[in-house]
Every structure is written in structure tokens, then in C-alpha cells.
Amino acid sequence: MGFNISLSGIGASQKDLNTTSNNIANSNTFGFKESRAEFGDVYSSSIFSNAKTTTGGGVQTSVVAQQFHEGSSVYTNNPMDMRISGSGFFAVADDKLQPQNNSLTRNGAFHLDKDNQIVNSEGQYLLGYQVDKDTDQVSSYEAQSLKVPDQFGQPRESQNINIGVNVPASAPAKDPARFDFTDPSTYNKSTSLTMYDSLGQPYKMTTYYVKDNGGDAATLPLDANGQPVEGATSPGAENRWAVYYTVTDASGEKALDINMTPEGDGEVATGDANGPVASDGQQGHYIEFNTDGSVKSINNGNPIITQSLGLSPEQGGAGVDMNGADQAQTLNIKFDDPTQYASPFEVRRFNEDGATTGFLTKVDIDGKGSIVATYSNGENVTLGRVAMVRVANEQGLVSKGGTQWVVGQDSGAPIWGEATQGAFGSIKSGTLEQSNIDMTQELVDLITAQRNFQANSRALEVDNQLQQTILQIR
């Protein structure tokens, strides 16, 4: 009987040594959870034995229980590395078409594969949810694989231009009729943005601001030589600015002027009553201000709508379709409360609604697990949200290796959700969870297990000596 007791002790000590050695071996494994061997005594009695004198039958391993407390963080330069701060697991699937067959893991080391799917080092697919782009809420908790497209969006021609500016009240006046976009001395200020035609071809649209001097030499102050004083204005023109527009292609050559089309007959307006006209015939419009610097009128109260730009295929645009019909691309220009204050020229707003095809430039993951891709066309797109899973009894999970677990009978059913919701923790991008091994404690446990093994070996040796003594009695 003593032999069996000592052998059970040796086996338990060996199990403890194996568990501790496995912990130490995985001290640098991301997402690894330490194990602890738990033991129970072997005890049996019957009606024919005296319970008061029964010694027990040795020791048995009750369970090797994993401890799911969090490990420390290690920071990386990969935004697709993630750790869960709090409770929950990532879900990964071997087959993206069968997401219901999944495993749980705390190892958040992910990357993009050749198909731009988010996978781990074993090629398993990270599961997530679709997100409504308008509400930024999960539209369905049906988990599926997550993909980050390397291109996004169809080309979209520019249609609306929004401008907000302050023009300086102290700017010198100039003659709008002398405007020439190649000569900076003929205008006060300019600013540019990139606009697009229907093919996504980029063009530079430039807006020029000219403080109007009235243009009537008879009413302008003259210098000693009988010439209008530079910067002087005719009475009533002190608070009026002329605005012109041009579009240039990628080489910097002017593709066309943008002429204003007044409301009504569609004819290009001419003459000072409808707007300024440059020496080359380019049509602009006026912005008039009150004496307090607030806007009085813009384009005489008419909408600012350009003529059809008519960008031809030779210019890289879609001015003419395959049937030879004109593809009209017009711009609706809206000024958002322009001002004329005694402060420097300032652009508060200058944007448009066109876009070209974008190429992936960056991927970010926020605390809710939202995967946001940034593209070269300026689009920020929420592609999905990382799925989170938890169970009622974590120690009931069945380990399958690779720092992964599957739901078992004792763990309870999986509960799906998203980060920061309910009992789920948050997601930290660019961070990985290290093993939760305490190396100092493991080394102490290793020494303890070794001593237990030696003690049980000694007990076995003593039992053997007693048997030998008994056998030698004559």
C-alpha cells in the first residue's frame, strides 16, 4: 500500500513539474494563460474498516486549471496588433465561409494576408460585425471575416464648392478689368483646392480676389502725372470685391476659365451690372460688404453656378460621352458668410464634394474595435467592428493549443458582443497582451515541486527498504 501512495505522490509531483515547466516555456507567448495543477487526496473506507485509523490512498490530480487574469502590455508599431483590456476573447475561424466554427483567443497579433483579410499568424480569420455607416452602430451581430480593401470608392465629379473667407479691409484697390491669373500684381489674394471630373481626374481650381477700385478714371483721384492714384477707389466701390476662378490641369496649364451663368437664360453675363469682366473676357462676380464688414450681397443675389466645364477626354475628363453628347459638369459655388474685417486674409473653409479612387494609406482601430481605413482620396471608412466573446466560466473552456480555446460543456454558451459594451473590455490598438506568467513565482513553484518529488522518492525508497527487511527475516 505504501508503494502505491508514494507512486501517486511522485506522479503528482511530476504533473506539477510539467505544469510549471510549461508555464516557464511560454513566458514570452502572447496571450498565454498560466496553468495551475490542483490536487486532491485519495480516500476510501468501508463498513469493515475503521474510519479513525484509515490513512488514505495517496494523491490524485483534480484538474490543471488555467488562470485567466490579464498579462502586462507590450507596445508595437503595428496598428493591427490588439489587446483586450478587461474581459472577453477574440474569435477566429479556420474557414471564412464557416465563421460558426471558431476558436477563442487573447492573442491579438493580426495582419493582412494576400487578399487583405485580417488574419493571425496561423492564417485564421478574425471575426467581426458590419457597422452602419450612418449611425456607427453594429447592424448585425452575425460574425464574419473582416477585410480591408486596398482601394475604395468610385470617382465622383465635383459639384458643390463651399468657401468661407475674410478679405482684409485695408487691402489696396485694383482694377478688376486688368485681372490676369498669371500676374499676381493684378489681384490681391488667391487660394486653391483640388477638384475632380467624372473620371476622377484631378484639377486645381483657384479662386482670385480683387478689391474693386471702381474702374472709372473720371472718379478716381489722380497723381501729379494725371494718373489714377494706385490703390484709390471710386466712391461707392470701397467695400466691393471681384472674384474670378480658373481651373488648371496637372501640368499647371490653364484648362479653362470658369464663367458665371446668371439665373435665367443661361447666357454668360457681361457688363459691370452683372459682374466684372477681365480683359480676356473672363466673367467673374462681385461680393459687396456693409460698412461693418458683414456681407451685403453675393453675385447680386443670384446663385453662383458655373457654365459647363466641358473637360474633354483630351484633358483627361469626361466632357463628351461615347455618343458624342456633352457631359455637363457644373459647379455650385456657395460662400459661407464672407467678411471684410481689418485683419489678414483668412480662409475659414474651402472644400468640395468630389473624389477620386482612393488607395489604402492607413488602418486604425479604436477602443470600440472599429476598424477605420484611411484612403488617399481623403475618405475615412469604418469597415467593421471586431467581435468579442465571453463565457460564464472561463476555466470551463477547452484548450486546443496555440493560445486558443473552444467552448466546452462546463464553460457555458458563448456570449457575443462588442468592446466597451456590458462586461466586455476595451481594445487597445498597437498593443499586445503578454503571458500572465510571474517568473519569480514559477521558479519558486519549480523548487517546491522538485522537493515534493524528492520527498516522495525518499518515501518510496524507505518502503522498499522495509520490504527488504521483512523478506530477510528468517
Q: What percent of the chain has pLDDT over 90?
A: 50
The whole-angstrom separation of Cα 238 and Cα 291 is 9
Q: State the pLDDT confidence band at 1, using cuts at 50, 70 and 90.
A: low
DSSP string, 87-126: B-BEEEES-TT-TTSEEEES--B-EE-TTSBEE-TT-PEE
216 & 92 share domain: no
44 & 81 share domain: no
pLDDT digits (tens, 9 = 90+) for 349-386: 999 988 888 888 889 999 999 999 998 877 888 999 99
Do 176 and 349 contact (CB within 8 A), yes or no?
no
Q: State the pLDDT confidence band at 36, using cuts at 50, 70 and 90.
A: very high
The whole-angstrom separation of Cα 379 and Cα 304 is 27
Range of 138's domain? 73-152+359-433
Q: Supply the pLDDT for residue 236.
A: 56
Q: Supply the pLDDT for residue 51.
A: 67
Q: Supply the pLDDT for residue 472.
A: 80
* Residue 30 backbone phi and psi in degrees, to 5: -65, 135
* Residue 327 backbone phi and psi in degrees, to 5: -100, 95
Q: State the pLDDT confidence band at 324, using cuts at 50, 70 and 90.
A: very low
292 & 372 share domain: no
Do 326 and 153 contact (CB within 8 A), yes or no?
no
Pairing of strands 398-401, 404-406: antiparallel
332 & 445 share domain: no
Q: Supply the pLDDT for residue 237.
A: 62
376 & 363 share domain: yes
- Domain count across the chain: 3
Residue 4: helix, strand or coil by DSSP?
helix
Q: Supply the pLDDT for residue 433.
A: 95
Residue 163: which of 280, 374, 332 has the closest Cα? 332
40 & 100 share domain: no
Pairing of strands 358-365, 370-375: antiparallel
pLDDT digits (tens, 9 = 90+) for 160-202: 999 999 999 989 888 888 898 889 999 999 999 988 888 888 8
79 & 55 share domain: no
> Which of 69-73, 219-223, 434-438 has the least mean pLDDT?
219-223
80 & 54 share domain: no
Mean pLDDT of 301-305: 86
The whole-angstrom separation of Cα 83 and Cα 435 is 12
Q: State the pLDDT confidence band at 222, using cuts at 50, 70 and 90.
A: low
Rounded to a whole number, what is the distance in angstroms from the first to the last CA of the chain?
23
Mean pLDDT of 55-65: 85
C-alpha radius of gyration, the chain, whole number: 39
DSSP 335: E
Q: Supply the pLDDT for residue 365.
A: 94
What does each C-alpha distance from 84 to 31, 106, 200, 427 come to in angstroms?
10, 7, 41, 5
465 & 370 share domain: no
> Which of 96-110, 120-134, 224-238 has the least mean pLDDT?
224-238
Q: State the pLDDT confidence band at 277, using cuts at 50, 70 and 90.
A: confident
397 & 331 share domain: no
pTM tops 0.75, yes or no? no
pLDDT digits (tens, 9 = 90+) for 372-426: 999 887 788 899 999 999 999 999 999 999 999 999 999 999 999 999 998 999 9
Residue at grid coordinates 471630373: 197
pLDDT, mean over the chain: 84
